[in-house]
Structure 1
Amino acid sequence: MDVLKAQDPARIGAHTLLARLGAGGMGQVYLGRSPGGRLVAIKVIRDEIVDHPEALTRFRREVETVRAVRSAYTANLIDASLDTAPYWLATEYVPGPTLGGAIRERGPLPSDSARSLFAALAEALATVHGYGVTHRDLKPQNVILSPQGPLLIDFGIARGAADTALTQTGFAPGTPGYTAPEVLISNQVGSATDMFALGAMLAYVVTGRPPFGSGPTHAVSYRVVHEDIDVGGVEPDLAELIQDCVAKDPARRPGPAEVITRCAVTSVLAEDPFYVRLTSDIEAVPQDLPAARAAGLVPPGHGAPTPPEDAPTVGPGYVPTALPGYVPTFVPPAPTAVPGRRRSRRTPWVVALAVAVVVGTGTAVTLKMLEDNGTGGTGGGSSSSESPTASAVPHKVPEYILNDRVSLDRWTLSTEPAEAVHGIGKCAQVGAVSAPKELQYAVDDLDDPDSATVVRRARITFRFKYAEIEDKKPAPYYVSVGVKPPHEIDADTGKPYEVMMESKNVGYTSKPVDIYEHWKEGGFVELTYPDDFQGHFSASKGEAAIPVVNDPGDWTAVIYHVKSSPTDYESIGCTGFRVGSS
C-alpha cells in the first residue's frame, strides 16, 4: 500500500481515495471508501491508453466479466464508469497477500495443504467456467489469499466462449510459465488453458520454484512447449496430477471436477495451519479518510474539496464472498464448448507466440505494449515506471550484440493478396518484453519505397512515438536490430546450405544506437541492411552481412533493447520483409 501522489484525484466517482494499491498493465489501482463506508479496490485506466480502442475493449470486457461472474471465489463488482474518461471499475476490497507473494515470503506448502488449496482453486475455475468465461491469465499474482479462502482477480484478458481473441500485436495473452502451449503456438484458448495454469501454479506452490524455470521469456516459453514441468521432490501422486494438468495436449488435461476428486479434500482450508500462516500478515488497512491521513497515506491538503457524487450506478448490494468451514465439492454444469480447444494429440514441434498481423514493407506499425504486473491486493500490482531512467542505462554501451541464442521469431508475408501487395505480413514473436513507450517501426525497399518487396537494400526505421513532447531529452535507450534470412547460412558460401534449414538464430545485427537520437524533431532512427549490419557469432571480429539476394524469401527483423553487455538484450518488436516476388 503506497501514499497517494499529487497527481492522484481525491475521489473517483462517489468513492474517496485512501491509498495506492499498485499499478497493473491497464492502469492504477487505488484503495477507496464508498459513500456507505465500504472499502473498494478501484482500477482506473491509464490516460495514455484511453485512445486505444483495443485497450478500452479489454477494459469493458473486464467490467462485464466481473459483473457477470458472482462467486465465493471472486471479488464482486461494486461500481464502474464506462461512458467518459476517466474509465474505472470498483470491486469489493479483500485484504490478503497474493499467492505469489505468500509463497515467496513463507516458502512452499506441504502436500496436504497444497491439495486443499488446489481443490479450492479448481472449484473457483469451475464456477468461472460455468459462466462461460475463461480467465486466461491465471498465475500466483492473480490469486488473493483471504482468511476464508482464495479469490481470483484481474479478469483483464478473460473472454467468454463466444468472444474472439483480444491481444496486443505480436503477443499471446497470459504470463510465461503459466500460459499453455496451444496459446503460445496459435492463440487457441479454452477452459483447458486455465487448467494448464492451475497445474503450473500447484507446481509453484509445492516447490517454491518457477514451474518451467526462470530466464528470458522466450526460453521459458520454449520449455513450456517442449520440456517437462519441474516437479522434483514432489509426492508421486501429486506430481502425477500436476503433470496431467499441464499435458501438452489440452484434450488430455483433467477438468475441475476430476481435480477436486483426486485432491480428496476432507478438511477446511481456512483452518489449515499452513494456510493460516500464509494469511497471518495482512497489512493494516485504513477504514476512512482520517485514518488514511493519520497513517500518512493521504498527504495533508491532498485533493481539492469536491461535492458528493451520485451513488454507485452498477453492481447490486453486497454478496458475502467468504464461506467459513467450506470444503470444495461442487462443480457447476459444464458450459458449452469453447471454440479453439484443440483435440489433436499431436505435440507441436515449433514454439511461436500468438501470430498477429503486423506491417511489413512500406508501411509503419505502432505497437503499444501493456504489461500486466498484477501483484498485491484485489486488482493491485507493483508500481512501475512509465519511462526509462538514467539508472537503467548501461555505463558503457556495447559495440555489438552477440548472436548467442536461439531465436524463433519469424515474419511471413500475408497469404491474402490484398495485404501481400502492400508487403503486409505476420510476425510470430517469442519472448518479447514491454517497451516503455509506443514503439513505431517500418521496413521498406531503400531504392523503391513503394515496392512490396526488397530487391537489394532494406531500410528499417523506428522511434518512440511522441518522445518529442517531453520537456527534456529522455535518458538513453539503446536499441539494436537483428535481421535474419529465412534459412541457416553457410559461412563459407554466404548462402543457404544445400539441405535448407530454417534460421533459428538472431541473424545479422546493427550497432546499438540511442532510440532518442532524433528526439527533438520526432524523427526516426534509420538503418540500412546490409550496410549497417554484421554477424557477431563469436566475440571475434564481425562477419559481413550477406546480400538479401543470397536467400530469397521472408526475412525477419527483430528490434532489441540493449543493456549492459553484448549478451544482455531482449526483444521489444518484430517485423520483416519479402525478398523476391510477392
Structure 2
Amino acid sequence: MHSGRGGGGGGVQQVGPYLLLTPIDQEGGAPAARWIARTVGGDRTVLLSTPAPGVDPNRFMAEADAARYLLGSWTLPTVELAPPGGAPWHARPYVPVLPLPIALALNGGPLPERTVRALGVALAETLSVIHGQSLVHAGLSPAAVLLSFDGPRLDCFGAVRAVAPDGAVRRDLPGVDATALAPEQAAGGQPRPLGDVYGLGATLAYAATGHTVPERDELPASLRSLVSRCLSRDPVRRPQLAELVGELSAGGAARPAGFGSTDHASTLLTPGWLPARLVAALAHQAASVLDADMPVPTAPPATGTYGY
C-alpha cells in the first residue's frame, strides 16, 4: 500500500473536493475503485469510491444513494454523493481497513478459523439487519469485506444491481466477482436474501482457503457442511442467517444470545480476533494516513453534498 505522501510538490488526482491519497485495492480487485482521500483543506478523510470500468454510472450512483440508509454495526453507509451532472463518486467515513484479498496476501495465506468464524457471525448479523430493512445487499464478495481493528465493514452495496438490471445475464461482467455471485443472480434474477447467503458462503470459503469455491476437502472440517450448504445452487437448500449465526457462534464459544442481538459478534470480535500481521498493517496504514503530506491538487475542487 502506498504511503499517501504527496512529496515534491507534484500534482495528484482530485475527485470532487477530495485529493486521492492512496488506493486500498490492488488493480482490478473490487467492483469500484476505492481510495483513502482527504479534502484539500485537510479537515476530512474518507473512503472514496468511483465505478469500475464498464459499470453504469447512473446505476452506481443509485446504489450509493440507497446505501445512505444502511443500518447495522458493520456497514459503511454513504455520507456524501457527487453532485448531479459531474463525475460519479461517493464517500464514507474513513476507518483503517484492509480488503479481504489484501488481508490474505499480507497474512501469507488463509485466515485462522477463529477469525473466519468471527467474520461470518458479524456479516450474517449485519445481513439480517439489512434484510430487516427490506433490502438485499447484492454485492457480497471477498472484495466487499473490509477488515478493521474492531471488526469487518461490509462495502459494495448493490454491486450486482449496478452492473446490469434484472433480466440481463450478469455472467462475466466487470464490477462483480463471478465466483461469489449466486447462480440465480448471474442468470439475471432479482437479488434476494438467499443470494446474499451464497455470497457469504463464498466469502467465508475464501477467508478459510483462499478460494471462493474450494474443493470440499479444502475447507476446515468444522466449517465444511455449513459453507457447502451456503454455496448450494438451489437457494432453498441454503441455510437461514439465524442458522449460520448459531453454528458459527457455537464453534467460536460465543455466549448464548437471542438472534438479532449483537452479543454473538461482540463476543467473538475480542482482542486477538485478527492475526498480529494484520493488526500491524492496519496500524501502519492509520499512521501513514495521519502523517500524510497534503499533495498539490491538479484541478480546483468541486463541491458536493456532505451529509455527516
TM > 0.5 between the two? yes
Specify which of 27, 38, 49 is matched with residue 43 of structure 1: 49
Give the Cα–Cα distance (whole angstroms) in 1 for the partners of residues 74 and 217 of structure 2: 30
For 2:82, the equivalent position in structure 1 comes to 81
Alignment of 1:18-37 (within 5 A): 18-21=21-24, 28-34=33-39, 37=43
Partner of 2:223: 238
Where relative contact order (Cα < 8 A, 6+ residues apart) is larger, the structure is 2
Show structure 1 runs of 5+ residues with no match.
213-228, 318-582
TM-score (norm 2): 0.75
Call closer, same or farther: CA 1:187–1:171 in 2, change over 3 Å. farther
Report the counterpart of residue 202 of structure 2 in structure 1.
Answer: 200
- In the alignment, which residue of structure 1 is the partner of 2:64? 63
Q: Does the 8 A contact of 1:99 with 1:141 survive in 2?
A: yes
SS in 2 for 1:292: coil
Deviation of 1:127 after TM superposition, in Å, equals: 2.2
Give unmatched runs, 5+ long, in structure 2.
Answer: 255-266
Contact kept, 8 Å, 2:122 with 2:151, in 1: the verdict is yes
Asked whether the 8 Å contact 2:65–2:78 carries over to 1, the reply is: no
Tell me which of 281, 286, 289 is aligned to 1:286.
289
Q: Distance in 2 between matches of 1:89 and 1:246?
A: 31
- Larger Cα-atom Rg: 1
Aligned to 1:368: none
Alignment of 1:136-535 (within 5 A): 136-159=138-161, 165=166, 174-208=176-210, 210-212=211-213, 229-263=214-248, 264=250, 265=252, 266=254, 267-282=267-282, 283=285, 284-287=287-290, 291-293=292-294, 298=295, 301-303=296-298, 306=300, 313-315=305-307, 317=308
Percent of residue pairs bearing the same amino acid type: 28
Note the C-alpha offset of 1:20: 4.5
- The residue type paired with residue 198 of structure 1 is L
Mapped to 1, the partners of 2:62 and 2:83 lie a distance apart of 11
Q: Which of the two has greater strand per residue?
A: 1
Mapped to 2, the partners of 1:140 and 1:247 lie a distance apart of: 18
**Structure showing the higher helix proportion among its residues:** 2
Is contact 1:39–1:287 with CA below 8 Å preserved after alignment?
no
How many residues get paired? Answer: 279
The offset of 1:242, in angstroms, is 0.9
CA apart distance, 1:261: 0.9
| Secondary structure, aligned partner of 1:232 | helix
Q: Kindly indicate whether the alpha-carbon contact (under 8 Å) linking 1:192 and 1:253 is maintained by their aligned counterparts in 2.
A: yes
Q: Provide the alpha-carbon RMSD of the alignment.
A: 3.4
Q: Compute the displacement of 1:276 (Å).
A: 4.9
User: AA paired with 1:281?
Assistant: A
**1:493-526, Cα deviation, whole Å (9 max, x unpaired):** xxxxxxxxxxxxxxxxxxxxxxxxxxxxxxxxxx
Q: TM-score, normalised by structure 1?
A: 0.42
Distance 1:234 1:169 in 2: 28
**Are residues 20 and 112 of structure 1, via their aligned partners in 2, closer, same or farther at CA, if it must alter by over 3 Å?**
closer
SS at the partner of 2:36? strand
Stretch moving more, 164-173 or 188-197: 164-173
In structure 2, relative to structure 1, the CA distance for the partners of 1:166 and 1:292 (3 Å cut) is: farther
Read off the aligned partner of 2:149 and give its amino acid letter.
P
SS of residue in 2 equivalent to 1:31: strand
Range with bigger deviation, 181-190 or 130-139 = 181-190
CA gap of 1:158–1:90, structure 2 versus 1, over 3 A, is same
Q: What is aligned with 1:8? A: 13
Instruction: Verify the 8 A CA contact 1:116 1:269 in the aligned structure 2.
Output: yes
The structure-2 alpha-carbon separation of the partners of 1:27 and 1:245, relative to structure 1 and needing over 3 Å to count, comes to closer
Structure 2 vs 1, CA of residues 104 and 166 (structure 1 numbering), >3 Å: closer, same or farther?
Answer: farther
**CA distance, structure 2, for counterparts of residue 245 and residue 255 of structure 1:** 9
